Every structure is written in C-alpha cells, then in structure tokens.
Amino acid sequence: MDRRELLKSGLMATALAAAGRLPLLSAGTGGGSSIDASTGPGALKPIRDHLKRFSPVNPPTRKRGQYSLTYDILHWSWVAGTRDTFANSIVGQVTIKCKAANTRVFYEISQQMRIGGVDNSIEARIICNTDNYNSLRKWTLRSGHTTAKGELEPLSELAENGRCNNGQIQIKSGNYEYGFSAKNPVVAQWTVPDFLLRKANPALNATFDLLQDLSLFKPNQSLSYEGLTPVKLRDGKTVKLQTYAQTGQGVLPIHYLLDDQGRSQLITSSILSWALSGQS
C-alpha cells in the first residue's frame, strides 16, 4: 500500500465505524452521546489499551517556536466476533521540527510507518507564513517504501513540491500537476499541534482547510475546546488534559489532548493515533 492508497483509508474507516468495527468517536462527549461511557471518554477510546503503558512527556520547557516533537504512531485493532476486544500497537514514528525565523516558520517532518507489512516513509520541508495559523506557503515532499537498510526503493519514490498563494494550491510531481482552491487558511496535520501550542484557549473556535499529507484537500475543518479529559496513566495516577476536537469534511473526529504547557500529548482518531514520546 502506497501513500496515496493510505489516504483513501479514511473513507473505508467511516464505513467500518458504521458497521461497529472501529472505536466510536464523537465531537460531543456530553449527555445524549452515543458513546458508551463505561469504557471511558470518547477521545481516549482509540488508545485505551496504550494508556496502560503511557506517561506524559515532561522535559524542560523549551523556547516556543524552536523545538522538536516525536510521536509514536499507534494502530487500533479489533478482533472479529469479540465486540470488546481491542489493542494498540506502535507502527511507526513521526518527528516534527519547528523553527520560526523572521517572517517565515519552517517545519521539517520525518515519518516512518509500517503499512500492510511494508515500511513507508515521508520526509517533508514546509515553509509557512507567520499568521495565526502558520498557514502553508510552499513545501517539498518525498515519500516511498524503504528497504531493510532504510533506503528508499527507487520505483516507489514520489517527489512533490507545492505552494499556496491567496488560497490557490498548486502541487507538482515531475510532469504531473494538480491543484485546489481554498477559502480558509491552509494547514497540514503536522502543523496543527504547533497552532494549538500557540493559540489554545477555552474560547478557541478555529476554521481552516486541511491539506493532508500535503496532497489530499479537506476543506472546512473546525477546531474547538471540549473541556478537560481525565487520563489514567500507567502509574495509576490520573491527569486532566485540555481537549480540543477537530471535525470537518473528509475526517473522522480528531481529538488533541494538551498538557498545561499546550503540548499535544495525545492525538486520537479512529484507526491511527499519536502519543508524544519525546521532545528536544
């Protein structure tokens, strides 16, 4: 399965959720929700097995605007015929490096994930504007399957570069070119944690367009505060994390659970979730 095929899995996930084969998520966690409260808050259902092994990363505070965050990528699985059987396994890692300089913000992304028995990698360099969203300006991306030695398989390699100017998104790969028109600020999934690090507050009600993996356009995303979620950790202690929910076209609800410094310690959504494992 290559990266473009993986992007289609969001449609499959919606159908599976309807059939009861994915952890049910909802942007609403209050009364009247269809979520079974006996198994914990909806934001934690995709990773409730991983929480037995999770503790928040709590390194010394770094200068905002220059840092590196590493997340474990968690896969949720379900066993046919056993409704309450679930498990989480780590299938990869993603590292997000951020550095603000003058009128630009630079992100470097390194992501490795095992999909269908194949090791896939994404390397991206993103240059963003210094507006409220750090909206996308231009970027380069390289992806493909990797060998056992960690080298990219030449036939699987995809190299793209893109830019966004006044809402017009243009992406080129060799002789192939495609584009989208955006009505809202455009972000990538890798830049949303930084947006929350800078802008999170209970009054937040943000609207943006998402360019997932810098390739798949998902407009009209909303991000808002959902209160505090109690998270029971591996040492038995419970912490309360600020919770924000992202909903919009083409996505199942995504929950961001932040510590008191604004870092997204957990990012959860259906099959694949992220858990913070390191910062520098």
Residue 163 β-bridge partners? 138, 170
Q: Is the per-residue pLDDT at 7 higher than 50? A: no
Q: Are 173 and 158 in contact (CB under 8 A)?
A: yes
The rounded distance, in Å, linking the Cα atoms of 91 and 132 is: 33
Query: Letter for the amino acid at 117?
Result: G
pLDDT at 31 (0 to 100): 39
Higher per-residue pLDDT: 117 or 219: 219
pLDDT at 87 (0 to 100): 85
What percent of the chain shows pLDDT beyond 90?
65
pTM: 0.84
pLDDT at 27 (0 to 100): 46
- Among the residue ranges 132-141, 204-213, 230-239, the one predicted with the least confidence is 230-239
Rounded to a whole number of angstroms, the CA Rg of the chain reads 18
Q: Is the per-residue pLDDT at 80 higher than 50? A: yes
Q: Could you tell me if residue 250 is left (phi over 0), alpha (psi between -120 and 50 degrees) or otherwise beta? A: left
Q: Are 26 and 42 in contact (CB under 8 A)?
A: yes
Q: Could you tell me if residue 116 is left (phi over 0), alpha (psi between -120 and 50 degrees) or otherwise beta? A: left
Q: How much is the mean pLDDT over the chain?
A: 85
